[in-house]
Structure formats: structure tokens, C-alpha cells
Structure 1
Amino acid sequence: MFYRIAADGLVLFHLLFIIFVLCGGLLALKWRPLIWLHLPAAAWGVAVEVFQWMCPLTQWENYLRMAAGQGGYGDGFIEHYLIPLIYPAGLTHTIQIGLGALVLTINVLVYLLHFKQWKARRAAC
């Protein structure tokens, strides 16, 4: 039971990490120190997609599922709704390149906005 709950929690964390990779730059507009957490997370997200690396969260989740005696995902809420968001069917390398480019584009635009704000504040001083 513990391993299944831990695996489900890890899937939820994985989804939140993906959302942070995509949108964390926007949060950093409000809380500037968050930039130092978001930049490496965004770089990791781009690298995982572009180079097709296996995310360690996926490996840990699979380990926990096996330890729980599960051969695959069950029909619970997390498995039914969240896992298809993280692991969509038909994911190809071309799609992964596109996702990596999307993450990179979003974050470049957000950090250009950060730079513009920083420059405006600096000029006002």
C-alpha cells in the first residue's frame, strides 16, 4: 500500500514539475529568487525532450510500482487522468523536439520580459 501511494504521489509531483518547467518563469515575475530554481528546471525539461533522456522520476515511479506488486498502471484517478498527460500515447521523437522547442520558446519570451523589467528598474534608479 505504501509503495502504491508513493508512486501516485510521485506522478503528481512529476506533473507539477512539468507545469513548473512550462510556467515557472511567470511565477518568477512575482517572486524573483524563483528564477534560480526555474532556470535549471527549464533547462532539464528541454534536455529531456530534445535528447530523449529518461527522467529519473519515471524510473523511481516504475520501481515503486513494481515494489507495490503492480505490473502497470491501475484504474485509479491519478493513473486515469494524470499519467496520460505526462505520458501521452503516440509520443514520437518529432513531437518531443516540438515540445522541447515549445518549452524553450515560452521560457525565452518570459525571460526577455524579466530582462526588460530589470532594465527598466535599473534605469529608474
Structure 2
Amino acid sequence: MVYRLLADAAMTAHFGFLAYVTVGGFLTWRWPRLFWPHLAAAAWALGIVLVGWDCPLTRLENWARARGGEAALPPGGFIDHYIEGVVYPRRHAAAAQLAVGVLVVGSWAGLAWRRRRATRTRP
């Protein structure tokens, strides 16, 4: 029971992390000090996608599942199991990754534009 809760907590943290990576840059418009944590989260996500870094949340979830007598996530991990084929078709994975990248960079560009505009309008 405890291991199941831990696996579910890791899964929930994964969803939260992906949501933060995707739209967290827009939070920086309201709270600019969130830029650096968002940059770190986006860099980590990029490292997982491009370099193939191991995700500690996937490792934790798989460990808890194994201790609880459940099967581990498939080789592709969290996204392959919970996102691809559920939220969008597997064949659109590259487009989904590109869309997330565009949102992240767009949110940062919007932050830069807003800050620049704010400094121009100050007396």
C-alpha cells in the first residue's frame, strides 16, 4: 500500500513537472523570480529528451512499483506510458515536443518583451 502511494506520488510529480516545463514560463510574467527555476526545469527536460538522461522520478516510480508487486513502466518511461497514445497519437511525439519547446521559448520571449516595455515606460 505504501509503495503504491509512493508510485502514485511520483506519477503526480511527473505530471506537475511536465505542466511546469510547458507553461511555467508564463508564470514568470507575474513572478519573474521563477525564471531561474523554470530555466533549470526546461534544461533538465531537454537533457532527458535530447541526451537521454535518466529521470529520477521514473526511477522512483519503477522502484516503488517493483516493491509493491507491480510491473515497471515500459522502456520509454513516463511519457510513453501516460502521455503518448493518450493525450496525442504516438506518431505526433516530435510535434508535441516541438510545441512544448515553442511554448517555453515563446514564454521567455514574452517575458523579455514585457520587461523591456516596462523599463521604457518608467519615468
TM-score by length of 1: 0.77
Equivalent in the alignment of 2:82:
84
Distance in 1 between residues matched to 2:43 and 2:96, nearest whole Å: 13
Partner amino acid, structure 1, of 2:46:
V
User: Does the alignment pair 1:43 with 2:43?
Assistant: yes
Per-residue deviation, 1:9:
0.9
Equivalent in the alignment of 1:80:
none
Residues 98-109 of structure 1: matches in 2 within 5 Å? 98-109=95-106
Identity %: 28
Distance in 2 between residues matched to 1:56 and 1:91, nearest whole Å: 23
Sort the Cα spacing of 1:44 and 1:52 in 2 relative to 1 into closer, same or farther, 3 A.
same
User: Does the alignment pair 1:119 with 2:112?
Assistant: no
CA offsets 1:9-47 (integer angstroms, 9 cap, x no match): 110110110010000011111111111211110121122
RMSD: 2.2
Partner amino acid, structure 1, of 2:115:
W
Distance in 2 between residues matched to 1:116 and 1:50, nearest whole Å: 28
Distance in 1 between residues matched to 2:62 and 2:113, nearest whole Å: 43
- In structure 1, list runs of 5 or more residues that go unmatched: 74-82
* Count of aligned residue pairs for this structure pair: 112
Sort the Cα spacing of 1:57 and 1:8 in 2 relative to 1 into closer, same or farther, 3 A.
same
Sort the Cα spacing of 1:47 and 1:100 in 2 relative to 1 into closer, same or farther, 3 A.
farther
